[in-house]
Chains A and B, each alone.
Chain A
């Protein structure tokens, strides 16, 4: 089941807003590239969240190289409609719609059709090689999907619209998208979460909803877990909070000039931290119990925030050995990215064909 992340063609990353969905999607993309896979990471909500993480001002509908082995794409509904119509031989219609500024009517009038086009574009990228029979596609597409509350209707949009259009290309494509999404060999859904009450509750609801819809849920990534380097010394800290004399003695012996107030501040800050750690532990336990055997991967809180490529690489470094992948690594036998957060994908660039302009 875990091997799916090394074999999947499509990784759908969802989660409650603010839980680091986009960052984890970027981290997974970089980690997979570090294992020699050719990766496309795509966002569909027009938020330009990936752009900031990869140090770009903006991403658009053209697939662009953003890191070694990683291309990124911001799927645009209008462009998707144009491509969609052209693929089925309706290029003149696409031009006419564009001329009459009617694109929005089409996507707005058929509920979910906008989502159908976005999902369709992701499906196209994930199955490009298989369909064309020629190289130039991707081994893995990572989708920064809508948040948990909307992800099932989003992924099932092709089905919804196909109900209204029982024949024709829409029905045909809906069936093929469903084939990919429902296949646990090719698709894996990953949920991001924070070790806080509401995100844990929403993650449990999300896992249930995704399973109910028959979508292959593969893992939960618990983001920003507070580090615990004082573990086991909570009792000592409590004693020192009452009487900091031993700390004062240790400080004096070492020649560290810390008065009682400063020592009190240090102990208070540590005890606040311990309370957070204890609460997070409890919530992560609830999460594990609630997801019924699903792997839960913990990522550390990054002090600098995860903005920028360095943060993404640090996350990728933590994700790579996180037990989400096959033990043996990839066929090409590349070394695993280091846990220290060193550039996770160094050396894999040559494994990736020049797919930077492969979007045509």
Chain B
């Protein structure tokens, strides 16, 4: 039995890893499950980098407008805008821009930029299937984030791009996005399937075999014919744009793998969040993506308080302050148990990911919703 508890000892495996990343990386991708403070962490890293003299842009693709709130902006447009909040003191050449991805507009912009001519762009933009694809299809958002990331990276306007991602499951789609959408857009087999619809507009049917025709009939019976016609027209209009999509997605994928990119996995000491973090770390390793650091937000900590034996605790019941003290001790015990469990869970995760730098951020007294809050968070992240 120990007679004196030492308070919380935080797990740390390696030197503080974030400062190095924020100073030298070109792209930092923050990922993790929902509600772990990912958006705030991304914004705090971007602010720190900007105030350290780098031209920085933070890009969020989170559907909730949380970054906007965190930066005190009501609305972010689909292009980076300078953060002009009070108290932003970018040193030297440093600056901070922020943007919130509007996936539909990004998709439209991509179509307009890469279409052969205005006529092709108009045909695609007017297509009902395209309109639904660009605004509702799962994975589209992740794909468009890649397009935007590529565009910003190519522009060389920034030294550092900090990317916030949707919760873990979708963030995995972020890696899959190029493959998924390319597979869809380049789906020759699928185009065979919808060929009868194309024939209406394009006039080719040759090469279709009996099986495909039968299949098509069945699909039409299930979905109704208009769906197929819309899809067929979309694929016809999209002809010739596949290769560009594929090429750019490949370039972004290569950039993400590049050593100048760092993924930062964000979690809380909650079991589920850490399981997601472990899953994500594993997935990044499998894709050979550079994992830079683990940030664990909302850590509970305790100060050192000696053990008080049960007999003494019973005697505390004698007076009002004694009873209060007994309650304080009980509160402390609960906190200590919680803090120990959290550290155990963090250690368990680190055991599965060799050489991963970890930053633990204590539970902050207030929600982060302004630059001052981001700086307070930054002080812990870069301690």
Which A positions have Cβ atoms within 8 angstroms of B?
Answer: 16-19, 22-23, 45-47, 49, 52, 85, 88, 90, 92-93, 96-97, 100, 102, 104-106, 108-112, 114, 147, 149-150, 153, 160-161, 164-171, 194, 196-199, 201-202, 229-230, 233, 236-237, 240, 246-247, 249-251, 253-258, 261-263, 265-270, 272-273, 275, 279, 303-305, 307
Q: How many residues of B contact A (CB 8 A)?
A: 78
Does the CB pair A303–B337 fall under 8 Å? yes
Contact of B341 (CB < 8 Å), options: A199, A237, A304? A304
Does the CB pair A19–B321 fall under 8 Å? no
Given A199-B35, A247-B321: A254 and B316 within 8 A (CB)? yes
Report 13 cross-chain contacts, Cβ distance below 8 Å, ordered by A residue.
A102-B189, A108-B137, A108-B139, A109-B190, A111-B137, A112-B136, A165-B223, A253-B319, A254-B313, A254-B315, A256-B313, A263-B325, A303-B334
Does the CB pair B189–A100 fall under 8 Å? yes
Contact of A170 (CB < 8 Å), options: B136, B223, B311? B223
Contacts of B271 in A (CB 8 A): 52, 305, 307
Contact of B215 (CB < 8 Å), options: A93, A237, A249? A93
B367 at the interface (CB under 8 A from A): yes
Closest A residue by C-beta to B7: A265
Given A169-B222, A255-B315: A303 and B332 within 8 A (CB)? no
Which B positions have Cβ atoms within 8 angstroms of A?
Answer: 7, 33-36, 63-64, 66, 69, 128-129, 132-133, 136-139, 167-169, 180, 183-184, 187, 189-190, 193, 211, 215, 218-219, 221-224, 226-227, 230-231, 268, 270-273, 275, 302-306, 308-309, 311-313, 315-316, 318-319, 321-322, 324-325, 327-332, 334-335, 337-338, 341, 365-367, 369
Q: How far is the CA of A108 from the CA of B379 in the complex (A)?
A: 44
Q: How far is the CA of A199 from the CA of B367 in the complex (A)?
A: 11
Q: How far is the CA of A240 from the CA of B322 in the complex (A)?
A: 12
Does the CB pair B275–A19 fall under 8 Å? no
Contact of A165 (CB < 8 Å), options: B168, B187, B215, B227? B227
Q: A52-B275, A111-B137, A266-B331 are in contact. List 16 more A-B contacts (CB 8 A).
A: A18-B34, A90-B222, A102-B190, A105-B189, A108-B184, A110-B227, A112-B132, A149-B64, A160-B132, A164-B128, A164-B132, A171-B224, A240-B324, A247-B324, A258-B305, A258-B308
Contacts of B226 in A (CB 8 A): 164-166
Does the CB pair A266–B329 fall under 8 Å? yes
Contact of B328 (CB < 8 Å), options: A17, A96, A199, A269? A269
Q: Shortest distance in angstroms between B198's beta carbon and chain A's nearest beta carbon?
A: 14
Q: Which of B184, B189, B218, B327 counts the most A-chain CB atoms under 10 A from its CB?
A: B218
Given A93-B218, A102-B193: A198 and B66 within 8 A (CB)? yes
Does the CB pair A164–B230 fall under 8 Å? yes
Does the CB pair B35–A250 fall under 8 Å? no
Closest A residue by C-beta to B180: A108
Contacts of A246 in B (CB 8 A): 321
Contacts of A16 in B (CB 8 A): 34-35, 64
Q: Shortest distance in angstroms between A160's beta carbon and chain B's nearest beta carbon?
A: 7
